[in-house]
Structure 1
Amino acid sequence: MNYFETKRARIEIIPMIDIMFFLLVFFIMITLHMIPSTGVASKMPKSSTTTALEPPKVLVNVDDEGDITVEGQKLTAEALTVRLKAQGDPDKVVVTIAGEKTTSLQSMMKVMDACRQAGITQIGLAAHATEEAH
């Protein structure tokens, strides 16, 4: 009388685990592409002695009018100092300042002073390499 016995339904869990791992990897890859800090498009000055720096922890943009922007937020020099102090250990914070070609030296110095007041010593200036440097 085996013909009339009902079979118990089985849920196959292995394919479901494969799909979950695939989704996990997919979301991790998407998230990693979203993490790098994005700056404001600017025409940076050129230099023949540029060197590659490690990715900065904080990218500060200074436009030609002297406005300071960090991660899309306009800040004053004082607010920048407060924000940098909140980053934690100043020896581990790397700041890169990206300015326009026409940004005044005084505006750049204002940002550097704000960084130094926060205790930051690792400050870099962003520049494009000239063709001669390649």
Structure 2
Amino acid sequence: MRLPASKPKRARIEIVPMIDTVFFLLIYFMIASMTMTRMNAEKVALPVSHTAAAKPADDIVVTVTKTGLFYIDRDPVAESGLTSALNARLAAKPVSAAVIINCDKDQPAGRFARIFDLVKQSQAANVMIATTPSDQWEKRP
């Protein structure tokens, strides 16, 4: 007895599951990007804090590196011109803009106090200190 030959089925590409997957990935990355904080400052080793929070977008960052160099956002500035340069930046920002001091943890306390005093001499409404959240610090080797 001879069986009839069956026709091979044509392959189909199902597009609906692919669209669902693409939208899922899009939503995932949109939500993940909302939790990211981009800080416009030089990289320094920050002290640890249990109450650390994310930086708002319209703030100004004053950085003191381990070697003692000063930056406002990413622009180098001399210590003597810090207050005047900071006043110029604050004039261009909204009234609610805060100044964040991003001081390396290896700087002496006297140097930090001097920088804090210079920042307070500017017209900043708020002054904050950048720290590393303690849970992130504990994960580092």
Query: Which TM bucket (shorter chain)?
Result: 0.5 to 0.7
Contact 2:44-2:66 within 8 A present in 1 as well: no
Report the equivalent of 2:81.
79
| Whole-Å separation in 2 of the counterparts to 1:82 and 1:106 | 21
Unaligned runs of 5+ in 2: 1-37, 137-141
| TM-score relative to the length of structure 2 | 0.57
Contact 2:96-2:125 within 8 A present in 1 as well: no
Instruction: Name which of 38, 51, 55 aligns with 2:57.
Output: 55
Cα deviation for residue 129 of structure 1 reads: 0.6
Unaligned runs of 5+ in 1: 1-35
Report the equivalent of 2:67.
65
SS at match of 2:53: coil
How far does the alpha carbon of each residue in 1:27-64 deviate from its partner, in whole angstroms, 9 at most, with x for none?
Answer: xxxxxxxxx65221222111112233423521111112
SS at match of 1:64: coil
Instruction: Name which of 103, 115, 122 aligns with 1:118.
Output: 122
| Whole-Å separation in 2 of the counterparts to 1:93 and 1:76 | 22
| Whole-Å separation in 1 of the counterparts to 2:39 and 2:48 | 22
Q: Percent identity?
A: 19
| Whole-Å separation in 2 of the counterparts to 1:69 and 1:75 | 5
| Whole-Å separation in 1 of the counterparts to 2:134 and 2:39 | 24
| Partner amino acid, structure 1, of 2:135 | E
Report the equivalent of 1:103.
107
C-alpha RMSD of the superposition: 2.6
Q: Count the aligned residue pairs.
A: 98
Structure 1's consecutive aligned runs of 4 or more residues displaced over 4 angstroms after TM superposition are: none
| TM-score relative to the length of structure 1 | 0.60
